[in-house]
Structure 1
Amino acid sequence: MSGDDRPTMPPVRLPSEAELARDALAAPLFARAVSLARWADEKPVPVGAGGELLADGLAEAATRLGLIADPEGTAATAEAWNLAVDTGLLEVDEDEDAEPTLESDEAVGTASGGGELARLTGSVAPAEVLELWQGGMETVLADAATPSLEDLLGDLEGVVGDDGEIDPDAVDLDALEWDPEEETDFLDSALGNLYLFTLQDPAVASGAMVPLPVLAASMIVPDDMDEPTDEVLEEVSVAMMRLDEQFRILEPTGMLAYRPVDEALTQEADDALPDDEPAPDEEEDVSRYGMVRLTPLGLHGMRQRMLDAGIDAPLVGDLAEEDATTLLGALVSYPETGAREEVEGWFAARDSADRAARDLLAAARGRDDEAPGRRLVCQQALSLAGDAAEPALRDVLDDAELGGLARVWLVEHGAEDVPPPDERMVFWLAVDTLAAQLATAGEPDELRELIRGLVDQHAGFFDKAWKVDHPAAADVLEAMGRLHPDRGTAKEARKAAFKARSAHPG
């Protein structure tokens, strides 16, 4: 995949590697795994054929972790032990003299501290801690995306032996309706959407949690569906419950802050009559349906996964040392908050605000398809340059491509003696602005209002706009024909688009 073809995510702001490493070491599952590895390093611990703790060892390990009285303590201890084995914090040595056995509580080897524990015990760099945590997170992600046999089988009759355990020989694995790739894609999609929520919603970026129904709906409900059907709502409900199970597994890794679905809701749903399904009251506590957000550590982990998958997932500040052309090209796809932070860092890395402003204006020129977007973000970037940018903007007042935006900037900043634009520049700037909006934002309702305002403000708008020597004039006029609510005006726009294409072919 070439660099130009890589999908691009909005930029993310992350704490320092040292802060993230501290978060990783404090994550419950990881901290427990390290504690158990240190325990085993003091004296090798007997283990079973799969490296699992035996009954006595499991109880002793749970006691060491302070979980012995917790109803879920045994399971949490086993999960931490397994993570320590999977990540190399523990090393399992099989006893060559041990006889093969089917007994689940008979030792066939010992476990002691592994190479990764030795790294943590020494002077370890934050990046090494994060690498180790990332490997553990990947293991837990794989576990979360793998349903239990009970979930897959449903009815366990005929597959459970006298000892209460599932008999593997009685299970037809080929007949199970389970697609591992689909399960993985489902969880990846949820976490990817949660990453986007965090970067694009200021409230979530500030620490607010995303309701689980909202996250599930973002995965299931089509963008063009005004009112979800009953079938779609049922899919959302099923997705919520799948995510609830998976997020419960992921939370101890430290990547998520999660408030699970209230288990009483399931009982309420079971008790409801067919035509009396429970629904949230107008002010019902939405947290009962589950709330989730990615932690800074989770954002780091997701970003690393995206980078490994060939997705461009930039950090805020990555562009500080880049040239103006690279900056503007990237900012076109950035959300407002991320763009502002990036521009502030870019200006801060330069000695001369005047020189920086001139570089931005030079980079904004062009007649290529991306040029209108560059000019739009250039104008937005220059709003952060302060008064030092004024000389550079006055120098381009007569420039055919930049004179319009320069006048807008100068007027907005209270500059005096700003010459009014001629009619050609007015309409060129209008077409350029609409072209930038169409390229960066699509066709939202706000653009409809902008189009209506332009047409109402300028008499004979279309008669003048089609004559503008702008490479996007025909495309802009066609879009105005699609978006203007008045049929007659929309027809005028389409006629003007035809004239523009005829006057400026190619």
Structure 2
Amino acid sequence: MSAESRSILPPVRLPSDAELAREALAAPLFARAVRLARWVGPGTQVDGNGELDPAQLPEAAAALGLDPADEDARADASQAWRVALDTGLVELTGPEADGSETGGSETGGAQGPQSGGAGEFGGAAAGEDLALVTGGAPAEVLDLWLSALDAVLADAAVPELVDLVDALDQGGTIDFDRLDWNPQREADFLDGVLANLYLLTVAEGGAERGGAVPLPVLAASMVVPDGMARPTDAVLEQVSDAMMRLDDQFRQLEPIGLVEYRPVDEAVLAETDDEESAAGTGPRELDAEEVSRYGMVRLTPLGLYGLRARMREAGIGAPAVGELADKGADALLDAVCDYPEGAAQAEIAQWLTGRELPAAVAELLAAARGADQGAPLRRLRCQQALASAGPAAEPAVRAVLDDPELGGLARVWLAERGAADVPAPAGAMVYWLTVDTIAAQLATDPDADELPLLMESLTAHHTGFFDQAWRVEHPAAGEVLEAMGRLHPDRKAAKEARKAAYKARSRRI
């Protein structure tokens, strides 16, 4: 995948490597590749591209438990053989093993033999990597599966066989200009689709909708220009073409375990065409059930793992929940500031698991200090981390009661638990905590609907709030007051906030 952006994606929640390895071994295409690697023997013959002798395809299909007389079964056996070669589960043993590529990964076997003629065959045997299937660590099994995924993705970017046949010239060579196929362009398109699918899956709310994404949504994400509110007929036609292309590709990607796919219902396409032709109108609004008939795709946990691995290899930040468990509190709080709320809570919970609570709380509080721009949000994440902490955290929290940055946070935590002997905060600390709280919320989501209500609630409890707020020794005071001037629901309070913001800015000049 090409890294168009280095920005960090939302973190994904993944099962353990052991669970993912079991999923990989159960993926139909990978399982067939393993079975063929165990089936291969001294009599196995391959051509110059490493392709299995066509005369042996029925036997290979039978070894997979398929009907050897069925053409589709023989095609499945041929595909599984290519995956076995690409993953190292099978190795060539004849002269073709010296200096010849096993083929298939770039064009799916569309090119002619790279060495030898059609009648020249060598041998094949089980590869050394076959032993990893039963004797390797889960990570080694997953590495084999990733190799298989790369091969399948390359094949999925190749045009359908009928298009390849139509593009043959009189000499039997593919005319790529006539085919209008650019391998890199096609691979980039599929990578882009899968990246969008990944983002839609891991984004906040993705799990709530089951992770399934309508095929028209994916196609539109690649075709419809940004900012186009109502696509033109020409753009809608491009979306339709992309849908058909993706329908074929997801059918190919499902057997490797990357996705669960509900294909396009061809009947609904005919129904839509008939309705539009009869009515003389364009596309109408569809309900959820109708949309699902146009295809639905969902990344499996194994698919999330595979796409994340590919993106990280390309240099794209794609974190996973739990990977910060062995890091320090400073690294934890810095990272979860970029996470959605639910993922941040899950990451913090895993970080706390297995740690001595008093020491962990003290480390979190120390990491929350700071006057930099990200500090308010770090303190908010720290406060959220402490929300689930029990009585064992109290000594560490009480230790920061006199800290100008953490004292307010500590008092809130103690008061919520009904602790005794909690000293009342000084006025300056109250205003500082209010500014810090709003600054953190602005950093989380400056357009949140709840933010104006939070501002109204906080200022309602403090008479003359704006007369004091501009004097607060907080680096974000001016920014917070300006935001309150824009967002506060009370017009009089908003005007006072703008005046206070001017004073705060002037004070720092």
TM-score w.r.t. the length of structure 1 is 0.83
Distance 1:341 1:183 in 2: 37
Deviation at 1:194, TM superposition (A): 2.9
Deviation at 1:291, TM superposition (A): 1.9
Q: Is the 8 A contact 1:24 1:133 kept in 2?
A: yes
SS in 1 for 2:293: helix
SS in 1 for 2:254: helix
Does residue 298 in structure 1 map to residue 303 in structure 2? yes
Does residue 145 in structure 1 map to residue 148 in structure 2? no
Aligned partner of 2:337 in structure 1 is 332
Deviation at 1:32, TM superposition (A): 1.1
Deviation at 1:115, TM superposition (A): 2.3
SS in 2 for 1:273: helix
Aligned partner of 2:505 in structure 1 is 501
Distance 1:14 1:317 in 2: 9
Distance 1:488 1:289 in 2: 53
Alignment of 1:452-491 (within 5 A): 452-455=456-459, 458=462, 460-484=464-488, 490=494
Q: Which of 135, 138, 142 lines up with 1:123 in the alignment? A: 135
Q: For the structure 1 residues 489 and 23, does the alpha-carbon distance in structure 2 shift closer, same or farther, using more than 3 Å as the test?
A: same
SS in 2 for 1:349: coil
Q: Which amino acid aligns with 2:324?
A: L
Distance 1:384 1:222 in 2: 45
Does residue 271 in structure 1 map to residue 274 in structure 2? yes
Alignment of 1:107-256 (within 5 A): 107-120=119-132, 123-148=135-160, 156=166, 159=167, 167-168=172-173, 171=175, 173-174=176-177, 177-201=180-204, 204=207, 208-217=211-220, 227-230=229-232, 236-256=239-259
Q: Which amino acid aligns with 1:339?
A: A
Deviation at 1:411, TM superposition (A): 2.8
Does residue 343 in structure 1 map to residue 355 in structure 2? no
Distance 2:461 2:219 in 1: 44
Deviation at 1:371, TM superposition (A): 0.8
Q: Is the 8 A contact 1:354 1:392 kept in 2?
A: yes
Consecutive unaligned residues in structure 1, runs of 5 or more: none
Aligned partner of 1:79 in structure 2 is 79
Q: Which of 410, 415, 420 lines up with 1:411 in the alignment? A: 415
Q: Is the 8 A contact 2:37 2:130 kept in 1?
A: no
Q: For the structure 1 residues 332 and 101, does the alpha-carbon distance in structure 2 shift closer, same or farther, using more than 3 Å as the test?
A: closer
Alignment of 1:333-412 (within 5 A): 333-351=338-356, 353-412=357-416
Distance 2:440 2:318 in 1: 23
Aligned partner of 2:103 in structure 1 is none
Distance 1:315 1:482 in 2: 37
Q: Is the 8 A contact 1:405 1:429 kept in 2?
A: yes
Aligned partner of 2:105 in structure 1 is none
Distance 2:182 2:450 in 1: 42
Deviation at 1:161, TM superposition (A): 7.0
Q: For the structure 1 residues 6 and 386, does the alpha-carbon distance in structure 2 shift closer, same or farther, using more than 3 Å as the test?
A: farther
Q: Is the 8 A contact 1:28 1:254 kept in 2?
A: yes
Deviation at 1:380, TM superposition (A): 0.3
Q: Is the 8 A contact 1:90 1:111 kept in 2?
A: no
Q: Which amino acid aligns with 2:258?
A: M
Deviation at 1:48, TM superposition (A): 3.3
Per-residue CA deviations over 1:165-210 (Å, capped at 9, x if unaligned) read x9436x2x34665454443333223323333333334662795533
Q: For the structure 1 residues 504 and 193, does the alpha-carbon distance in structure 2 shift closer, same or farther, using more than 3 Å as the test?
A: same
Q: Is the 8 A contact 2:364 2:382 kept in 1?
A: yes
Distance 1:277 1:31 in 2: 45
Consecutive unaligned residues in structure 2, runs of 5 or more: 97-111
Distance 1:433 1:471 in 2: 13
Distance 2:502 2:20 in 1: 57
Q: For the structure 1 residues 90 and 433, does the alpha-carbon distance in structure 2 shift closer, same or farther, using more than 3 Å as the test?
A: same
Deviation at 1:101, TM superposition (A): 9.3
Q: Which amino acid aligns with 1:187?
A: L
Q: Is the 8 A contact 1:92 1:109 kept in 2?
A: no
Q: Is the 8 A contact 1:93 1:109 kept in 2?
A: no
SS in 1 for 2:122: strand
Q: Is the 8 A contact 1:272 1:278 kept in 2?
A: no
Q: How many residues align?
A: 485
SS in 1 for 2:207: helix
Q: For the structure 1 residues 118 and 243, does the alpha-carbon distance in structure 2 shift closer, same or farther, using more than 3 Å as the test?
A: closer
Q: Is the 8 A contact 1:48 1:107 kept in 2?
A: yes
SS in 2 for 1:72: helix
SS in 1 for 2:289: coil
* Greater Cα shift, 402-411 or 480-489: 480-489
Q: Is the 8 A contact 2:263 2:296 kept in 1?
A: yes
Distance 1:191 1:79 in 2: 22
SS in 2 for 1:400: coil
SS in 2 for 1:292: strand
* Greater Cα shift, 71-80 or 129-138: 71-80
* Greater Cα shift, 28-37 or 181-190: 181-190
Per-residue CA deviations over 1:139-182 (Å, capped at 9, x if unaligned) read 111222333475599xx4xx5679xxx9436x2x3466545444
Aligned partner of 2:428 in structure 1 is 424
Q: For the structure 1 residues 478 and 190, does the alpha-carbon distance in structure 2 shift closer, same or farther, using more than 3 Å as the test?
A: farther
Does residue 284 in structure 1 map to residue 283 in structure 2? no
Q: Which amino acid aligns with 2:203?
A: Q
Identity of aligned residues (%): 56
SS in 2 for 1:258: strand
TM-score w.r.t. the length of structure 2 is 0.83
Does residue 38 in structure 1 map to residue 38 in structure 2? yes
Aligned partner of 2:104 in structure 1 is none
Aligned partner of 2:263 in structure 1 is 260
Q: Which amino acid aligns with 1:107?
A: G
CA RMSD of aligned residues (A): 3.5
